[in-house]
């Protein structure tokens, strides 16, 4: 029998049987850390950790909190490169490999007199500050404290501050970096304590939690007058998320359901972000907002899901916009372009993205286009489609004006028309995605390889349901229309561009990695694989064949070790018989095998630190064989 080519269509198919995928494509059926390039599978690039340290304490090498959003830019005024990093409890600027805490302050208590109490041999410090207003999990930064009970002033006054546990309305505790050597009450007579924004400002929630207390849940549930316990609650208190946008070279930041903040680059990284409402001349700035963006090219600050003018109660479907070229003025007048518009389809605005022609707005049920039209209406609003709502504030990505996003059970694209993306791994992804944490899904664009990836929390997460962070990804190649899947812990992603030559991302531990860099997992082995569907060696699938030779077709690096296994079956539900692994190098001409079956799949894999490979069209030599 002549050599039989093993030629597969690009993309992984998981939503039909392996036999059907091999017969009808044939397609690939599984993979990890593999992409498709020009229709053929290739191992993705590696990643290397970028080291950075906290300003004022170089022993700290990771940001505090789970990273939720990042934004990179180069300022024209000083030519310096910066990355804004929003975690679930902090806001940072990374500059020159130092990260600075610019988290806004809720308040500062000045000139406290000896408020610290310590106990010998204990790291716990008790602070007395009447009506402090802080909650457990909030952060404080102490200034001007003196050594107390053997705990040094440098320890007490550290720049990264401390996370507290509330005792009562007038006191709280924190764990110092070293233990006291004696009992003491002190700290000095001029202590200042800065309170970072916290739970009162909707900061500090790593994950969405069930809403508890009176009035939540369905009508008639439980006993009248009793709080619900969360076991049957479908209403959630949303996790902390950040919207980050640039106003020129300055940063606009909003924590979901919180206020809007402004970081003036010219004031330097030792200055914290401040309330937009506190800027000189500010008027009518919403006090609670779900997300913000800056419209292009007209430059309005847009607040999606905002408190109406003069109200403190958020309207999750209200869009408000500032005066053109002035992000501080939201009060409409006859001489400015500020205004508002309430959307109708949905219950809350999920996210907003500026595109080349309009601002794309997602509610939980629909998609809208917001277009600048000038006076007297300023903006027009178009309902683009329904039943296509978003589920994650960062679950959508803009690709040259086209928007790709994840929905409740499928994927969509808006390229002038909203369309559902045909997805060959749709059921695989949504069956293993944890619905309670779908809001953590992060859309990532890799323009060089024409890819949109979504990092999501899967049911295979090592933390189970205990505050897990994204551990898996699904990738769509919008050039080839091919899907791929895999496991990778990344909370956020930023594409290459400007001063960043490669994409970069943070993992759940606050470490920064440069992607498409090298061939390893930060110096460790990368375990990449791809597996084909079960192909029949003749058109009828009736005869059994003996495969005795494989002729490779692959481009590989000189130090690559690629392996393959042949998996055969007599019947689609029969036990799989695996032969190999067989080694394929850059000089391998053929591989001798003895694999027998009606249908055959091939698994290619590598697990080294220097592997780089691109597969082509392998061929096999097969001869008709008996049934025994």
Is residue 492 helix, strand or coil? Answer: strand
Are residues 21 and 110 located together in one domain of the fold?
Answer: no
Q: 271: exposed, middle or buried (C-beta count within 10 Å: 0-12, 13-18, 19+)?
A: middle
d(CA 366, CA 554): 45
d(CA 322, CA 337): 7
Tokens of 515: 């992607």
Structural domain total, the chain: 3
Q: 455: closest CA among 480, 425, 485, 482?
A: 485
Question: Is 397 in contact with 413 (CB distance < 8 Å)?
Answer: no
- Residue 539: the pLDDT is 62
d(CA 445, CA 353): 14
* Residues near 92 by beta carbon (within 8 Å), at least 6 away in sequence: 63, 84, 85, 86, 99, 100, 101, 102, 103
Report the pLDDT averaged over residues 448-468.
96
pLDDT category at 538 given cuts 50, 70, 90 is: low
Report the pLDDT averaged over residues 566-582.
87
Report the pLDDT averaged over residues 315-321.
98
Task: Pick the range with the lowest mean pLDDT from 138-152, 333-347, 478-492, 526-540.
Answer: 526-540
pLDDT category at 229 given cuts 50, 70, 90 is: very low
pLDDT category at 113 given cuts 50, 70, 90 is: very high
Checking if the pLDDT of 10 tops 70, the result is: yes
Report the DSSP beta bridge partners of residue 266.
Answer: none
pLDDT in tens, 127-173: 999 999 999 999 999 999 999 999 999 999 999 999 999 999 999 99
The mean of the pLDDT values for the chain is 92
- Sign of the four-CA dihedral 146, 150, 151, 152: positive
In a domain, 247, yes or no: no
Domain edge (last residue) among 371, 389, 407 = 389
Question: Is 330 in contact with 316 (CB distance < 8 Å)?
Answer: no
Range of the structural domain that residue 113 is part of? 105-196
SS3 readout for 157-175: CCCCCEEEEEEECCEEEEE
DSSP assignment of 546-558 equals EEEEEE--EEE-T
Question: Is 157 in contact with 143 (CB distance < 8 Å)?
Answer: yes
Report the DSSP beta bridge partners of residue 369.
Answer: 360, 382
Are residues 109 and 23 located together in one domain of the fold?
Answer: no
How far, in whole angstroms, is CA 362 from its chain's centroid? Answer: 18
- Residue 371: the pLDDT is 97
Tokens of 606: 């590598």
- Residue 228: the pLDDT is 47
In a domain, 434, yes or no: no
- Residue 218: the pLDDT is 44
Number of Cβ atoms within 10 Å of the Cβ of 30? 20
d(CA 375, CA 41): 52
Domain edge (last residue) among 196, 228, 256 = 196
d(CA 442, CA 469): 11
pLDDT category at 546 given cuts 50, 70, 90 is: confident
Tokens of 188: 């000095």
- Residue 210: the pLDDT is 55
> Is there a cis peptide before residue 43, judged by omega within 30 degrees of 0?
no
CATH of the domain at 122: 2.40.30.20
In a domain, 113, yes or no: yes
Report the pLDDT averaged over residues 8-13.
94
d(CA 551, CA 589): 6
Is residue 417 helix, strand or coil? Answer: coil
Checking if the pLDDT of 310 tops 70, the result is: yes
Checking if the pLDDT of 211 tops 60, the result is: no
Tokens of 70: 């990042």
Q: What is the DSSP letter of 448?
A: G
In a domain, 125, yes or no: yes
Q: 395: closest CA among 358, 364, 357?
A: 364
pLDDT category at 293 given cuts 50, 70, 90 is: very high
In a domain, 522, yes or no: no
Checking if the pLDDT of 628 tops 60, the result is: no
Q: What is the DSSP letter of 199?
A: G
In a domain, 374, yes or no: yes
Tokens of 290: 């779900």
Question: Is 330 in contact with 322 (CB distance < 8 Å)?
Answer: yes
Is residue 523 helix, strand or coil? Answer: coil
Report the pLDDT averaged over residues 386-404.
97
Q: 10: closest CA among 34, 36, 33, 31?
A: 36
Domain edge (last residue) among 196, 229, 245 = 196
Is residue 282 helix, strand or coil? Answer: coil
How far, in whole angstroms, is CA 193 from its chain's centroid? Answer: 33
CATH of the domain at 543: 2.60.120
- Residue 498: the pLDDT is 85
pLDDT category at 576 given cuts 50, 70, 90 is: confident
- Residue 268: the pLDDT is 94
Q: Where are the alpha helices (DSSP H) in 423-493?
A: 426-432
- Residue 545: the pLDDT is 77
Task: Pick the range with the lowest mean pLDDT from 262-276, 371-385, 479-493, 576-590.
Answer: 576-590
pLDDT category at 223 given cuts 50, 70, 90 is: low
In a domain, 383, yes or no: yes
Report the pLDDT averaged over residues 35-52.
96
Question: Is 263 in contact with 101 (CB distance < 8 Å)?
Answer: no
- Residue 597: the pLDDT is 83
- 181-195, 559-573, 574-588 — most confident range: 181-195
Number of Cβ atoms within 10 Å of the Cβ of 395? 24
Q: 604: closest CA among 509, 536, 532?
A: 532
Question: Is 432 in contact with 424 (CB distance < 8 Å)?
Answer: no
Report the pLDDT averaged over residues 257-267.
97
Which bin fits 258, alpha (ψ -120 to 50), beta or left (φ > 0)? beta
- Residue 127: the pLDDT is 98
* Residues near 501 by beta carbon (within 8 Å), at least 6 away in sequence: none
Q: What is the DSSP letter of 239?
A: P
In the chain, DSSP finds a helix count (H) and a strand count (E) of 3, 53
Number of Cβ atoms within 10 Å of the Cβ of 335? 6
In a domain, 443, yes or no: no
Tokens of 443: 């859309």
Is residue 432 helix, strand or coil? Answer: helix
d(CA 507, CA 523): 16
d(CA 463, CA 481): 33
- How distant, in Å, are the alpha carbons of 95, 141, 246, 267 from that of 98? 5, 19, 21, 17
- Residue 512: the pLDDT is 96
d(CA 207, CA 466): 9
pLDDT category at 540 given cuts 50, 70, 90 is: low
> Cα dihedral angle (49, 53, 58, 59), rounded to 10 degrees?
-50
Report the pLDDT averaged over residues 352-373.
96
pLDDT category at 217 given cuts 50, 70, 90 is: very low
Q: 455: closest CA among 390, 516, 521, 394?
A: 394
- How distant, in Å, are the alpha carbons of 124, 203, 444 from that of 174? 6, 18, 37
* Residues near 126 by beta carbon (within 8 Å), at least 6 away in sequence: 116, 117, 118, 167, 171, 172, 173
Q: Where are the alpha helices (DSSP H) in 335-393?
A: none
d(CA 122, CA 124): 6
């Amino acid at each position: 029998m002549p050599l039989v080519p093993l030629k597969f269509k690009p993309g992984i198919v998981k939503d039909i049987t392996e036999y059907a995928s091999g017969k009808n494509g044939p397609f690939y059926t599984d993979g990890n850390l593999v992409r498709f390039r020009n229709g053929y599978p290739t191992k993705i690039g590696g990643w290397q950790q970028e080291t950075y340290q906290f300003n004022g304490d170089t022993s700290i090498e990771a940001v505090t909190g789970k990273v939720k959003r990042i934004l990179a830019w180069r300022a024209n005024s000083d030519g310096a490169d910066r990355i804004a990093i929003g975690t679930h409890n902090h806001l940072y600027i990374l500059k020159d490999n130092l990260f600075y805490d610019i988290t806004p302050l809720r308040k500062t208590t000045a000139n406290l007199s000896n408020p610290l109490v310590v106990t010998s041999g204990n790291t716990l410090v008790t602070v007395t500050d009447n009506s402090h207003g802080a909650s457990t999990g909030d952060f404080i930064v102490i200034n001007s404290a003196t050594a107390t009970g053997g705990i040094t002033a440098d320890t007490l006054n550290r720049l990264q501050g401390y996370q507290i546990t509330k005792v009562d309305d007038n006191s709280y505790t924190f764990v110092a970096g070293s233990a006291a050597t004696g009992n003491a009450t002190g700290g000095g007579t001029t202590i200042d304590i800065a309170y970072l924004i916290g739970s009162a400002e909707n900061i500090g929630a790593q994950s969405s939690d069930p809403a508890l207390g009176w009035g939540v849940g369905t009508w008639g549930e439980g006993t009248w007058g009793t709080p619900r316990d969360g076991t049957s609650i479908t209403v959630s208190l949303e996790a902390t998320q950040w919207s980050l946008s640039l106003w020129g070279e300055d940063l606009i930041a909003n924590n979901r359901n919180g206020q809007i903040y402004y970081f003036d680059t010219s004031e330097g990284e030792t200055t914290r972000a401040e309330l937009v409402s506190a800027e000189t001349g500010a008027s009518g700035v919403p006090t609670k907002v779900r997300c913000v963006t800056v419209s292009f090219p007209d430059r309005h600050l847009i607040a999606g899901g905002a408190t109406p003018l003069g109200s403190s109660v958020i309207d999750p479907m209200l869009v408000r916009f500032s005066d053109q070229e002035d992000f501080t003025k939201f009060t409409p007048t006859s001489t400015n372009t500020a205004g508002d518009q309430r959307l109708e389809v949905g219950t809350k605005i999920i996210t907003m993205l500026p595109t080349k022609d309009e601002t794309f707005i997602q509610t939980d049920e629909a998609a809208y286009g917001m277009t600048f039209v000038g006076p007297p209406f300023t903006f027009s609003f178009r309902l683009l489609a329904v039943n296509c709502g978003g589920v994650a504030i960062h679950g959508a990505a803009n690709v040259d004006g086209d928007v790709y996003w994840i929905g409740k059970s499928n994927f969509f694209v808006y390229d002038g028309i909203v369309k559902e993306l045909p997805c060959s791994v749709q059921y695989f992804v949504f069956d293993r995605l944890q619905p309670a944490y779908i809001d953590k899904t992060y859309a990532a664009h890799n323009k060089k390889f024409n890819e949109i990836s979504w990092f999501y929390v899967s049911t295979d997460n090592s933390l189970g349901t205990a505050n897990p962070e994204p551990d898996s990804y699904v990738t769509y190649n919008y050039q080839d229309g091919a899907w791929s899947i895999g496991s990778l812990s990344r909370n956020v992603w930023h594409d290459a561009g400007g001063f960043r030559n490669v994409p970069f991302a943070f993992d759940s531990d606050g470490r920064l990695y440069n992607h498409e860099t090298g061939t390893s997992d930060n110096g460790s082995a990368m375990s990449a694989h791809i597996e084909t569907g079960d192909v029949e060696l003749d058109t009828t699938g009736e005869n059994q064949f003996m495969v005795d030779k494989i002729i490779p077709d692959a481009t590989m690096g000189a130090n690559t070790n690629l392996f393959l296994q042949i998996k055969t079956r007599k019947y689609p539900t029969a036990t799989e018989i695996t032969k190999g692994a067989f080694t394929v190098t850059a000089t391998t001409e053929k591989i001798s095998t003895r694999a027998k079956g009606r249908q055959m799949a091939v698994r290619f894999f590598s697990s080294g630190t220097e592997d780089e490979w691109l597969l082509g069209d392998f061929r096999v030599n097969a001869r008709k064989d008996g049934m025994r």
